[in-house]
């Protein structure tokens, strides 16, 4: 849930000289009648949330010089959220004491605080002339005074208004958003409103058209803006400032900022604060942590991915800033996209992680790949940037609707099928066998491009891979292991599929990954594919191991080593294999057996002949092979 205000309560302290009517004001508010017998000090009163306009509990605290010490007074001042400074309009001495005693005391007691002050002239029923001019002079000298009200505890005039102004000064303070002396918005407020304007400018043309204004109105105030009201707003802007409305009758950033300045000047600071808080800003005009980082619990064995709604948000965001519609974001377009954020979400090496175009500009596919990778590996960053980009967060939902939590991996194994859309493949092997080059092949980098800049640098890449017609995201992560005797960290084993790489020129390279397989992957919980890299190099050396790689894989019911080369125009078969194995855990062993039997059966075709007897025999043999496979698989499962 997102609160319109970050305050959980409001604490109002009434101060002033003895006899100005502080206690009477409190008692008149509560009982709605003037008290005949007034005690020296009223007890602290709490007004429940459900009877206040802002739905926030309000505590009203009285002060008595007779009953309280100076230390107690200072403690109450420090605890207060707002102070009502009361004088008697019939006693000029109490008005003078506001500037000679009380305001200097408050400045000394809370020198760095923005605690607002409401100047209150009580006993208005006893005089005919107002003290508003004198109060106005005081307000000009002391900007911490938010507002001024004359009232009467006896006639009940403006009593509820006084406490409303006090509550409003806490929940919708003027000081952070408006400079009274200059009659203009603060720089922090302008910056926040400019970000909001940019987010609401859905077509990125620098203007808010009627549809965008309506969306803004519904998001902030839960109601559409009537056509007549919309035109009245534009007329007010046109009348007071040039350049506030464009020639095609749309509101510009200048007009948007002026409108909020006008709200504050007309005593409607709550309107601007409602907008600011709807977009995550707290009382200090910083985006609140609760807004940026919603709480979520991810069960052990589960992962986090973008939901369809989250993917669509990022897709539309990309299209919004791809002004030239070339399918990639230029440096200028990229800087505009991140203009609503405190910084870029990635560094300067993004072209080595996700798909980019020939100019190394990130593409739509690369953009979605990056956020899919981030959501799996750093969910808090995804939450944070969703908020910065303006993901629709309200009282009913937050960034959690942009993310889905996958079911636990043990259930995937039980069901023999994964429901995930993002799979992580850990690439393990000796140094120099081409792990990083293999990872970069996933994003279509040529061998010539990668051979110079991958030496000694672990790689992580991500790209879309089709698995039976469905788009999945495959993350390839190069795992650095110094020595085969060095243990792998638990994080190194947290993957959906393992790719164990050796090459055709190093006779020790297969032994390295074979030992790792036997130590960490022989239990079959994680699908494994051996990859023989650098197959373009001939002659191929014999691996210095007890058995050949093919025999090793056969003995452990693994698929034969996949032969791969990084120098050709490059088949992506290895990535499809890895993604499919991750999507269908535990089925890979059964399919391996099937392929072996099928390849054996295919040898029968050498006998030739198209007779019906040969076809029938092949069919019977095929069914028998599948029966053996299924029975073995069921036995292993049990």
- Tens of pLDDT, residues 299-352: 988 999 999 999 999 999 999 999 999 999 999 999 999 999 999 999 888 999
For residue 1, is it within any domain?
A: no
CA pair distance 575, 461, nearest whole angstrom = 12
Residues 480-521 pLDDT 10s: 776 666 778 888 999 999 999 999 999 999 999 999 999 999
DSSP secondary-structure letter at 431? T
Encode burial over 326-347: b for 16+ CB neighbours within 10 A, e otherwise.
eebbbeebbebbbebeeeebbe
For residue 615, is it within any domain?
A: no
- Whether residue 300 sits in one domain with residue 278: no
CA pair distance 480, 455, nearest whole angstrom = 12
For residue 21, is it within any domain?
A: yes
- Whether residue 35 sits in one domain with residue 132: yes
pLDDT of residue 114: 72
CA pair distance 453, 457, nearest whole angstrom = 8
- Whether residue 542 sits in one domain with residue 428: yes
For residue 319, is it within any domain?
A: yes
List, in order, residues 6 or more apart from 140 with CB less than 8 Å away: 181
Encode burial over 361-390: b for 16+ CB neighbours within 10 A, e otherwise.
bbbbbbbbbbbbbbbbbebeebbbbbbbbb
Task: Give the end of a domain, one of 406, 422, 453.
Answer: 406
Task: Give the end of a domain, one of 129, 151, 172.
Answer: 172
Predicted model pTM: 0.82
List, in order, residues 6 or more apart from 226 with CB less than 8 Å away: none
pLDDT of residue 347: 87
- Whether residue 507 sits in one domain with residue 576: yes
pLDDT of residue 621: 44
pLDDT of residue 630: 42
* CATH classification at residue 270: 1.10.238.10
Range of the domain at 194: 181-290
pLDDT of residue 182: 87
pLDDT of residue 253: 98
For residue 341, is it within any domain?
A: yes
- Whether residue 330 sits in one domain with residue 343: yes
End-to-end CA distance of the chain: 47
Residues 531, 562: contact at Cβ < 8 Å?
A: yes
For residue 149, is it within any domain?
A: yes
Residues 223-258 pLDDT 10s: 888 999 999 999 999 999 999 999 999 999 999 999
pLDDT of residue 477: 95
pLDDT of residue 191: 98
- Whether residue 327 sits in one domain with residue 366: yes
- Whether residue 497 sits in one domain with residue 563: yes
- Whether residue 129 sits in one domain with residue 28: yes
CA pair distance 246, 230, nearest whole angstrom = 14
For residue 628, is it within any domain?
A: no
pLDDT of residue 485: 67
Task: Give the end of a domain, one of 574, 594, 614.
Answer: 594
- Whether residue 341 sits in one domain with residue 301: yes
- Whether residue 305 sits in one domain with residue 254: no
pLDDT of residue 586: 65
Report helix, strand or coil for 60.
strand
- Whether residue 425 sits in one domain with residue 400: no
Regions in the chain scoring below 70 on pLDDT = 1-7, 53, 112-113, 451-458, 482-485, 568-571, 586-638
User: ∠ at Cα 529 (523, 531), nearest 5°?
Assistant: 140
- Whether residue 311 sits in one domain with residue 255: no
Domain total for the chain?
Answer: 4
CA pair distance 401, 289, nearest whole angstrom = 18
Burial class (CB in 10 A: 0-12, 13-18, 19+), 79: exposed
For residue 613, is it within any domain?
A: no
């Amino acid at each position: 849930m997102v609160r319109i205000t970050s305050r959980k309560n409001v604490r109002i302290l009434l101060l002033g000289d003895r006899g100005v009517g502080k206690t009477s004001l409190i008692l008149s508010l509560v009982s709605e009648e003037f008290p005949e017998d007034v005690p020296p000090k009223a007890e602290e009163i709490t007004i429940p949330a459900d009877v206040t306009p802002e739905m926030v509990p309000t505590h009203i605290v009285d002060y008595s010089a007779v009953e309280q010490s100076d230390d107690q007074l200072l403690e109450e001042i420090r605890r207060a959220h707002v102070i009502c400074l009361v004088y008697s309009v019939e006693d000029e001495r109490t008005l003078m004491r506001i500037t000679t005693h009380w305001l200097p005391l408050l400045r000394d007691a809370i020198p760095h605080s923005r605690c607002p002050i409401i100047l209150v002239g009580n006993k208005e029923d006893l005089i005919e002339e107002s003290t508003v001019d004198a109060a106005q002079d005081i307000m000009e000298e002391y900007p911490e005074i938010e507002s001024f009200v004359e009232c009467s505890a006896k006639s009940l005039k403006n009593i509820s208004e006084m406490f409303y102004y006090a509550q409003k000064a806490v929940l919708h303070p003027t000081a952070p958003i408006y400079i009274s002396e200059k009659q203009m918005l603060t720089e922090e407020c302008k910056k926040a409103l400019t970000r909001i304007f940019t987010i609401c400018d859905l077509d990125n043309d620098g203007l808010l058209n009627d549809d965008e204004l309506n969306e803004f109105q519904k998001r902030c105030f839960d109601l559409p803006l009537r056509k007549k009201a919309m035109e009245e707003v534009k007329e007010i802007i046109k009348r007071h400032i040039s350049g506030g409305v464009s020639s095609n009758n749309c509101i510009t950033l200048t007009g948007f900022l002026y409108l909020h300045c006008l709200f504050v000047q007309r005593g409607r600071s709550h309107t601007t604060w409602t907008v600011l808080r709807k977009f995550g800003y707290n009382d200090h005009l910083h985006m609140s942590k609760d807004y940026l980082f919603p709480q979520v619990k991810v069960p052990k064995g589960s992962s986090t991915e973008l939901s369809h709604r989250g993917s669509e948000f990022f897709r539309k965001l990309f299209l919004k800033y791809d002004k030239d519609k070339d399918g990639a974001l230029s440096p200028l377009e990229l800087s505009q996209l991140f203009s609503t954020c405190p910084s870029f979400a990635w560094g300067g090496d993004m072209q080595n992680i996700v798909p980019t175009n020939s100019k190394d500009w990130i593409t739509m596919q690369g953009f979605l790949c990056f956020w899919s990778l981030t959501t799996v590996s750093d969910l808090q960053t995804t939450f944070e940037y969703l908020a910065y980009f303006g993901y629709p967060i309200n009282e009913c939902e937050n960034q959690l609707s942009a993310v889905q939590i996958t079911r636990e991996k043990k259930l995937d194994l039980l069901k023999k099928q994964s429901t995930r859309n993002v799979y992580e493949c850990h690439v393990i092997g000796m140094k120099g066998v081409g792990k990083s080059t293999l990872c970069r092949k996933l994003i279509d980098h040529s061998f010539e491009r990668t051979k110079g800049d991958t030496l000694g640098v672990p790689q992580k890449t991500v790209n879309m891979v089709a698995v039976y017609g469905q788009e999945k995201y495959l993350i390839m992560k190069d795992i650095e292991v110094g020595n085969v005797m060095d243990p792998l960290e638990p994080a190194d084993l947290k993957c959906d599929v393992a790719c164990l790489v050796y090459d055709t020129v190093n006779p020790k390279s297969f032994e390295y990954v074979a030992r790792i397989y036997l130590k960490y992957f022989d239990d079959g919980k994680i699908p494994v594919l051996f990859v023989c890299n650098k197959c373009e190099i001939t002659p191929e050396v014999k691996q210095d191991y007890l058995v050949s790689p093919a025999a090793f894989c056969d003995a452990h019911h693994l698929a034969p080593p996949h032969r791969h080369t990084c120098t050709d125009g490059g088949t992506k078969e290895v990535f499809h294999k890895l993604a499919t194995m991750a999507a269908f855990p535990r089925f890979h062993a059964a399919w391996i057996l099937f392929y072996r039997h099928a390849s054996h059966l295919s040898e029968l075709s050498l006998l030739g002949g198209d007779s019906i007897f040969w076809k029938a025999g092949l069919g019977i043999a095929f069914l028998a092979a599948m029966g053996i496979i299924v029975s073995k698989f069921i036995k292993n499962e049990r």
